[in-house]
Amino acid sequence: MASSQPTNQQQQQQYILVEKRDDGIAIVRINRQEKLNAMNLDVIAQLSSAMDNLASDEQVKAVIVTGTGEKAFSAGADIEYMSKISPLEAEEYARRGHAAMSKIENLNKPVIAAVNGYALGGGCELALACDIRIASKNAVLAQPEVGLGICPGWGGTQRLARIVGVARAKELIFTGRRVNAEEALSIGLVNKVVELPQLLDESIAMAKEIAKNSTLAVRVSKMLINRGVESDINTGLALELWGWSLCFTHPDRVERMNRFLQKR
């Protein structure tokens, strides 16, 4: 039976690298290049802790998630690991995976996925949990799980349909078909496509554009959009009313409005 406890050797492995920059942007890299950044339990656990750390760091205004190397964002859940685990271990894997994806989706700051190559299965689901996806031209996205005898399990059946629509999500999940960057852009699966060497710079540029705005207003907007798409329009509008009013509690709002009025 495969153990969910990491071995000593695995414990030393840093699967998630976090770079906190002076400009308030944090870059989170999945660091398992030799396995195309496939996510085993340790990757997921470290990703989860990284998100907890970033959530409580007020210096960080926006987060970029990407994969190390030029080939893969993440080739998904670790198939070798999954082939060996018991049903109880599978439950733990699922639980932690869900928690990590939800932490990203609900992080109190925006998260951009810089999709640098394959984003398959759980890798695609990781990108879907981010707020915005920027892909390099070599990106390939897919939910191929049904071919492995499982359905998408880290939110793919839910988030993909919300992002590209029910019919497209059904086609992509039922067929497992791979989508290149150009098609991903055309169906709204990614926001933007850039050349691979520019991917990180373009992602940082967008993160900076966001970071120069009011932290509270961006944070409230993210929460309102996330909660709003799950609600009926009147509930969403009621939330917006409260969120909007909340922004008036912050001195930053007065300063920003005065700056405009004084043409500074």
- Residue ranges binding ligand DAK (CB under 6 A): 35-36, 38, 75-80, 90, 93-94, 97, 118, 120-122, 144-145, 148, 153-154
**163 vs 217, which CB is nearer to ligand DAK?**
163
CB of 150 to ligand DAK, least distance (A): 6
Residues 202 and 130: beta-carbon distance below 8 Å? no
Q: Which of 74, 68, 87, 61 is nearest to 200 (CA)?
A: 68
Give burial (CB, 10 Å; 0-12/13-18/19+) of 139: buried
In angstroms, what is the minimal distance from the CB of 243 to ligand DAK? 32
Which residue number is nearest to ligand DAK in terms of Cβ?
A: 121
Tokens of 39: 């996510």
Q: What sections of 106-250 are H helices per DSSP?
A: 122-129, 156-164, 166-175, 181-186, 199-211, 215-228, 233-247
Q: Which is nearer to ligand DAK, 32 or 109 (CB)?
A: 32
Q: Which one, 99 or 223, has the nearer CB to ligand DAK? A: 99
By three-state DSSP, how is residue 114 classified? strand
Q: Rounded to whole angstroms, what are the CA distances from 59 to 55, 63, 262?
A: 10, 11, 28
Nearer to ligand DAK by C-beta: 136 or 215? 136
Task: Return the DSSP state at 131.
Answer: S
Here the tokens at position 195 are 């050349």
Q: How far is the CB of 180 from ligand DAK (least distance, A)?
A: 13
Q: Which is nearer to ligand DAK, 35 or 109 (CB)?
A: 35
What gap in Å lies between CA 256 and CA 197, rounded to an integer? 35
Q: In what order do the strands lie in the sheet with 179-180?
A: 72-74, 118-120, 140-142, 179-180
Residues known to be catalytic:
125, 145
Shortest Å distance, C-beta 124 to ligand DAK = 8
Instruction: Fill in the DSSP letter of residue 203.
Output: H
* Beta partners for residue 112, in sequence order: 64, 132
Minimum Å distance from CB 145 to ligand DAK? 5
- Could you give the 3-state DSSP secondary structure of residue 151? coil
